[in-house]
Amino acid sequence: MCISDQPASPLPRGRLAQYGPWAVVTGASDGIGRAFALELAAAGFGVVLAARGKDRLDALAARIAAEGGFAPVVVAGDLATDEGVAALCTATESLDVGLVVCAAGFGTSGPFLDAEEANERDMLRLNCESRMLTTHRFGRRLAARGKGGLVLMSSLVAFQGVPRTAHYAATKAYVQTLAEGLARELAPLGVDVVASAPGPVASGFAARAAMTMGRAEKPEVVARQTLAALGRKTTVRPGLLAKVLEGSLSLLPRAGRVRIMEQVMRGMTGKGHGEESGRRA
């Protein structure tokens, strides 16, 4: 489960060093989570890599170590289950975790009534329940040490209902609202919280969610700009595309945004349903 033959504590560098020395990244085997792990390792953090796909986690850990980074800790498990969240907490008990990036999640698309109920329930558990448990347990640890950072992955779709991906958008609305509330609640305890709400991202999400994306942001841009916003903003919309879409939608009433996003999703979605990178990783 773990790769941890190493000194007691890494030495993060730069502005993020205030949160160090260890960072937990969920959904680290692919896409945005992987990009966060590489950025944090390059900044000198010891990183805990959590996802389902052990082979990909081991490969990422080997790459980080080979590039001179602090040897990561690998925790392979299903974070959509209580056992998976408990295993992550147990594996990090001896580490001074100061930064947690919750990037594990997946999405579905298409008419809600055509969706597979079990798949929608799994998405709800991973995107919401698991996010709540991870944030609650690590949030307590960060508050007890008097400093820390929490990154919660929201989405452009979190700010209005979105036909043809209605349930996925609803799970992201939960994450966005949770982050906004916790940012105020945890600030006096020394814990910074940021919601990252990108637009389309070039990762495994599109194929697994049965979407076709014309323009998409690089995961590295999302990770870099999100970390730069931690401690400075409550919500960040990383990447030019997210900012352009925000600007075009922000002046519309909520009902208008719903209608616009419906047209956008009609152009992006087919009949299938799928999963985002991180869910089966």
Rounded Cα distance between 274 and 6, Å, is 39
Which residue in the list 19, 54, 168, 174 is annotated as catalytic? Answer: 168
Residue 108, both tokens: 């579905």
Mean pLDDT per segment of 10 residues, for the chain of length 281 residues? 57 94 97 97 97 97 95 96 97 97 94 96 97 98 98 96 96 98 98 95 56 72 97 94 81 88 77 38 36
Domains of the chain with bracketed CATH: 15-268 (3.40.50.720)
User: What confidence score (pLDDT) does residue 273 get?
Assistant: 39
242 half-sphere exposure, CB direction, 13 A CA radius: 25
174 is catalytic: no
pTM of the model: 0.88
Which residue in the list 172, 174, 243, 271 is annotated as catalytic? Answer: 172
Rounded Cα distance between 186 and 259, Å, is 35
Residue 277, both tokens: 């990178």
3-class secondary-structure state, position 202: coil
168 is catalytic: yes
User: What confidence score (pLDDT) does residue 276 get?
Assistant: 36
**What are residue 236's phi and psi, to 5 degrees?**
-125, 140
User: What confidence score (pLDDT) does residue 24 get?
Assistant: 98
User: What confidence score (pLDDT) does residue 277 get?
Assistant: 34
> b/e for 63-78, b at 16 or more Cβ within 10 A?
ebbeeebbbbbbbbbb
